[in-house]
Structure 1
Amino acid sequence: MTNPTREPGFDPDRLQSALDAVHHAGVPGIHAEIRDGDRVWRGASGVADLATGRPVDPGMRQRVGSVTKTFTAAAVLRQVEEGRVGLDEPVGTYLPELVPGERGRQITVRMLLDHTSGISDYLPYAFPSLQGLPVLKGLSPASLDDNRFREFRPAELIEMGLAAPPGGAPGGPVGTYSNTNYLLLGQLLEQVSGVTAEKCITRDVIEPAGLHHTSFPAGTHVEGAHSLMYEALYGLIEPPRDYSVYDMSWVMTGAGLVSTVADLNRFYRELLDGRVVDRSSLARMRRTGPVRALDGSKTLDYGLGLTRIEGPGGRVYWGHEGTVWGAGTTSLTSADGRRQMTFAVNLMRWNKPDASGKPQPHAIDGALAALHQLALG
């Protein structure tokens, strides 16, 4: 922890108490970095390993899930700036074999970025025991275990999403969140850059932003100090099971990155200050529209790889949330770049269903809402 200020909204004791409340509500471990201008607070509460009691630490690495999408979107915008990609060009121009025919002519690169392509998510088909979401009846964790060491090819996952009933017409007024879009963007990056998508994102986004603890995993393990990742799957896994060792090929350019809370805060500061993509690209990223969340629980105000929310007092924040099996991350930065909150938890899908299969509120939800309110000041 640094800076012992006691100003409202940036009181280290209150921030620590907010983390403690999340832990006591049921999350094994949580860690965070909160920033206000030059003032920085880092804290943690709970354990990284339930069996050993090893404490969680604010410097730990984390699988950050769909926060990856902002990185992928930024890499695509860099290619747009260099004239290799047109935002309003049909995706079939670049990937005719992956998206052939009429859909390839109708769906543009922009529609992939803002989730208005109408292409459905492949997740229920790659993980068939999860079919039926967001209703929780009939679900099973079997696919999570079956796929732990399975290596997917992006093309087979994309094919699953394209074969599924469309989530809407291309360019419709309300988008449907879909990881298939961001796997297609990964293939687009490979096609136009001549290197793997992971290398392209590393070269054009991660390294220029000065991120030293952010990378795509090379195998099934997270390198460096990290928490175990406990998945509850809406009470179907009891007690929650560790999924920190996992082949992430099922979602790489959509949700595969590993990072730290400090690196994510730095990334969004650099991005919103125009030092990752240029100002015109940033303006495009911040043009938002309604997108239905993957689990159907809410509608996101979504741009090109960025979500917009209003914090306390109407202050606008930009960033992204992310989840993978057992890990959740939220990173938000005020529009002026001054106020930031990034936190990571090592338990996911804690909400158990009622008789109708609808997830019910949990004490963790209230504790996280209080953390948001305090940290975003």
Structure 2
Amino acid sequence: MTNSVSTGREKLRQMLEWAVAEVAVPGIVAEVRDAEGTWFGSAGVADIESGRPRQEGEHLHVGSAGKAFTAATVLQLEAEGRLSIEDTVERWLPGALNVNGYDGNKITIRQLLSNTSGLFVTGLAPELSSRYATRSAFAEHRFDAWSTDELLKLTVSQPPIHEPGTAFAYSNGGFYLAGMIIEKVTGNTYAEEVARTITEPLGLTRTYIRPADETGYPEPHPRAYSGLFLKDGANPEDVTADNWWSMFEEPGLPPLDTTEYNSSWAWSAGNVISTTGEMIRVFNAFASGSLLPPAQHRAMWSLVSTEGGNWIPHAAYGLGVFELDPAVTGGLTLRGMGGSMQGSHFAAVGTPDGERTIAVHTNTEFKTWKVLFNALEAEFGIPPVQGL
């Protein structure tokens, strides 16, 4: 079953095979970079029909790991004196939040980037889920392109769920607004500013913001497969942050090939194409502070509790990034970034000095946190995490 191309790391190779056999991911890769160099392993397939194995250097959609790109771009603009993360949304986007009980004078850029703005969980918006929630709806809307005006309407389509700064709730809308602020401040597109502040300084050649009209991937890439659909007859408007998992299809149905798909709805909340190798370089720069000035690096890793936020267990959130609770890592400090969407789940986790990092990707969406935590157990020797 294994297609690992590097020797050693037997526990990690076993974990990859476990993910295919027990979690039913079509294919999985892991890339590790440490003082000894680079290790790459894979299991399963990149293409169910041909049986083609997964390989090193594949182009991937990294989902909400792109939020860290948005946060870092904003922080670089702050370092250049062009804005402050304590600025209000109203300062840069006057009137944008004057709807549904929001107040742009009370929400700061920092709160947008830390998911503490009070914005509702945008991913659960009926206007979004109705297009992609069932297999038939996905087939009809998979190539829909989203404009920033539509994303703004989506962001404020439901009322606030708490007062700004009082709790954590994972909201793509906050990052849409941050992307709009980037464009307002600079006069450039969001993609241009990400290139200027991140991909070009880091010398990345295979990492980019996916254009709104792009629906595929450069070669090489795996096929993407999804089973992330509501049960037949389920109403997307009935889905909440508490019941969403129970509303989905029962396991066992064949996955849908979602490789060709317009993901412009993700935009500045996570529409980055990259490779595991280049994402390790990005993560190491974010984690170690080699990209941003010290003040902005500290801001990126100023953590808030995610308790009650239906997010990664045992993790605190920074600005587009996370850090695991040392109580479950055996005292080891591990930082990370990651995301999931139809047909793709990615995470990069490593030490704060950037000296040891693992990137993991499955060509299907999130299925269980055991995949991530079992990978960390195999690579870093953290204790088994219970209750996942």
Structure-2-length-normalised TM-score: 0.84
Aligned mates of 1:119, 1:366 — CA distance in 2: 29
- Does the residue aligned with 2:156 lie in a helix, a strand or coil? helix
Aligned mates of 1:89, 1:344 — CA distance in 2: 36
For structure 1, which segment, 204-213 or 73-82, has the greater mean C-alpha deviation from structure 2 after superposition? Answer: 204-213
| Corresponding residue of 1:358 | none
How far did residue 235 of structure 1 move?
3.4
For structure 1, which segment, 298-307 or 282-291, has the greater mean C-alpha deviation from structure 2 after superposition? Answer: 298-307
Aligned mates of 2:105, 2:153 — CA distance in 1: 17
Pick closer, same or farther for the CA change 1:313–1:344 going to 2, 3 Å: same
Aligned mates of 1:210, 1:342 — CA distance in 2: 19
Query: Residue type of the partner of 1:258?
Result: I
Q: Residue 129 of structure 1 contacts residue 142 of structure 1 at CA under 8 Å; is this kept in 2?
A: no
| Corresponding residue of 1:353 | none
Q: Residue 72 of structure 1 contacts residue 254 of structure 1 at CA under 8 Å; is this kept in 2?
A: yes
| Corresponding residue of 2:10 | 13
| Corresponding residue of 1:108 | 108
| Corresponding residue of 1:316 | 333
For structure 1, which segment, 244-253 or 367-376, has the greater mean C-alpha deviation from structure 2 after superposition? Answer: 367-376
Of 368, 377, 380, the residue aligned with 1:376 is 380
Pick closer, same or farther for the CA change 1:78–1:345 going to 2, 3 Å: same
1:140 paired to 2:155: no
Amino-acid identity (%): 28
Q: Residue 3 of structure 1 contacts residue 40 of structure 1 at CA under 8 Å; is this kept in 2?
A: no
Query: Residue type of the partner of 1:65?
Result: G
Segments of 4+ moved more than 6 angstroms: none
How far did residue 293 of structure 1 move?
7.7
Q: Residue 3 of structure 1 contacts residue 39 of structure 1 at CA under 8 Å; is this kept in 2?
A: no
- Does the residue aligned with 2:285 lie in a helix, a strand or coil? helix
What CA RMSD, in Å, does the superposition of the two structures yield over aligned residues? 2.4
Pick closer, same or farther for the CA change 1:297–1:370 going to 2, 3 Å: closer
Unaligned runs of 5+ in 1: 5-10, 132-138, 351-363
Aligned mates of 2:224, 2:275 — CA distance in 1: 15
Pick closer, same or farther for the CA change 1:293–1:206 going to 2, 3 Å: farther
Q: Residue 47 of structure 1 contacts residue 55 of structure 1 at CA under 8 Å; is this kept in 2?
A: yes
TM alignment of 1:179-258, pairs within 5 A: 179-218=172-211, 219-233=214-228, 234-235=248-249, 238-258=253-273
Aligned mates of 2:169, 2:371 — CA distance in 1: 28
CA deviations on 1:78-113 (whole Å, 9 max, x unpaired) are 000111111111111001142248611110111101
1:159 paired to 2:174: no
Q: Residue 232 of structure 1 contacts residue 349 of structure 1 at CA under 8 Å; is this kept in 2?
A: no
Aligned mates of 2:318, 2:188 — CA distance in 1: 26
TM alignment of 1:59-78, pairs within 5 A: 59-78=57-76
Unaligned runs of 5+ in 2: 229-247, 382-388
- Does the residue aligned with 1:375 lie in a helix, a strand or coil? helix
Query: Residue type of the partner of 2:158?
Result: A
- Does the residue aligned with 1:248 lie in a helix, a strand or coil? coil
Count of residues in correspondence between the two structures:
350
Query: Residue type of the partner of 2:147?
Result: R
Pick closer, same or farther for the CA change 1:106–1:229 going to 2, 3 Å: same
| Corresponding residue of 2:231 | none
| Corresponding residue of 1:360 | none
TM alignment of 1:306-345, pairs within 5 A: 306-309=321-324, 310=326, 312-345=329-362
Q: Residue 143 of structure 2 contacts residue 215 of structure 2 at CA under 8 Å; is this kept in 1?
A: yes
Q: Residue 316 of structure 2 contacts residue 322 of structure 2 at CA under 8 Å; is this kept in 1?
A: yes
Aligned mates of 2:173, 2:141 — CA distance in 1: 18
